[in-house]
Amino acid sequence: MLKIGEFSKLSMLTVKTLRFYEKEGLLEPASVDEWTGYRMYQTWQLQTAARIKAYRQLGLSIAQIRDILEGADARRVLEEHARELQRQQQSIAVSLSVINSLLRGDAMTYQATVKTIPSCIVYYSEATLGAYSDAMQWIPAQGAEAAALNPGLKCTEPPYEFVEYLDGEYRETNVRVRHSQAVTAFGVESDNIKFRQVPETKVLSIYHKGAYDNLGEAYAYLAKYAEENGYQVAGPSRESYIDGIWNKDSVDEWLTEVQLPIL
């Protein structure tokens, strides 16, 4: 039997760490003297201590290690942890790319961020418009129709409204478009107004200030950013109009968020 100090030296774990592992149920002493409180360990527990230390060095959480020691499939836990490390690696790579760009003094018109849009209920409508500019007259009409069908319908707070262009390519005319508005509940539908549950969506996001005619620059930036940083596009891009002609006097103050769904 080994006293806690001796076990600490052989396992290369501090006494404080051993007490912590005992508290967390990872490595309990073989026996504890009821009078003195002295903790004693068996030599075979050195292997358990080494295993815990190795897992901690890999970044596994206490909960993950406990699961393994209690019989969970170590391979499954490690595979899950590896996927998480890969996600972190990708995020770190993106941050380094931005930092290096800033250090080089590159002009950055846009700042891309990764965000997750929560799942939400939306009412939506689809149409083929003569031109992109027609959307600004078409969108309010969809809201008016949805409100007429559903007088008590409430939008989410904060509001989330977006437009998707469904052609998969730029078209000067006959543009297929879908408008969606997040609401708190499903409602009455018509031939034009429908409801659906939009799943949680991970997106690359940038903010574009100014006229819609220049949104092509934002899309080009997002596409290049996604390619350079290893993101896979997972659906049509979204335009979310934050400020526009309805609340700003100057076109220079219009603000649009462009979102690109990614994996």
Cα-only R_g, the chain: 28
Tokens encoding 103: 């250090």
pLDDT of residue 107: 45
* Closest alpha carbon to 117 in 29, 42, 197, 54: 197
Tokens encoding 93: 């790579």
User: What gap in Å lies between CA 17 and CA 21, rounded to an integer?
Assistant: 6
Asked if residues 175 and 129 have their Cβ atoms less than 8 Å apart, the reply is yes
- pLDDT per position as a tens digit, 231-255: 999 999 999 988 888 888 888 788 9
pLDDT of residue 238: 94
Q: What is the pLDDT along the chain (263 residues), one digit of tens a residue?
A: 899 999 999 999 999 999 999 999 999 999 998 888 899 999 999 999 999 999 999 999 999 999 999 999 999 999 999 988 887 886 777 667 657 656 765 444 688 899 999 999 999 999 999 988 788 889 999 999 999 999 999 999 989 999 998 987 777 789 999 999 999 999 999 999 999 999 999 999 999 888 887 788 888 888 888 998 889 999 999 999 888 888 888 887 889 999 999 99
- pLDDT per position as a tens digit, 163-180: 998 987 777 789 999 999
What is the distance in angstroms between the CA of the first residue and the CA of the last residue of the chain?
Answer: 53
Beta strands in the chain (DSSP E): 2-3, 31-32, 39-41, 113-117, 120-129, 161-165, 175-183, 194-198, 201-209, 238-243, 255-261
Continuous segment of H or E residues that includes residue 260:
strand 255-261
Tokens encoding 231: 């993101």
Tokens encoding 79: 């595979």
Tokens 């026996």 belong to 31
pLDDT of residue 219: 86
> 3-state DSSP call for residue 39?
strand
pLDDT of residue 110: 81
Phi/psi of residue 224, each to 5°?
Answer: -65, -40
pLDDT of residue 97: 62
Asked if residues 112 and 206 have their Cβ atoms less than 8 Å apart, the reply is yes
pLDDT of residue 233: 92
DSSP string, 190-257: -SS-EEEEEPPEEEEEEEEES-GGGHHHHHHHHHHHHHHTT--B-S--EEEEEE-TTT-SSGGG-EEE
* pTM for the structure as a whole: 0.58
Question: Dihedral through CA 245, CA 246, CA 250, CA 256, nearest 10?
Answer: -60
Helix 4-11 to helix 45-57 angle, to the nearest 10 degrees?
A: 50
Helix 62-69 to helix 74-103 angle, to the nearest 10 degrees?
A: 160
Helix 45-57 to helix 15-23 angle, to the nearest 10 degrees?
A: 90
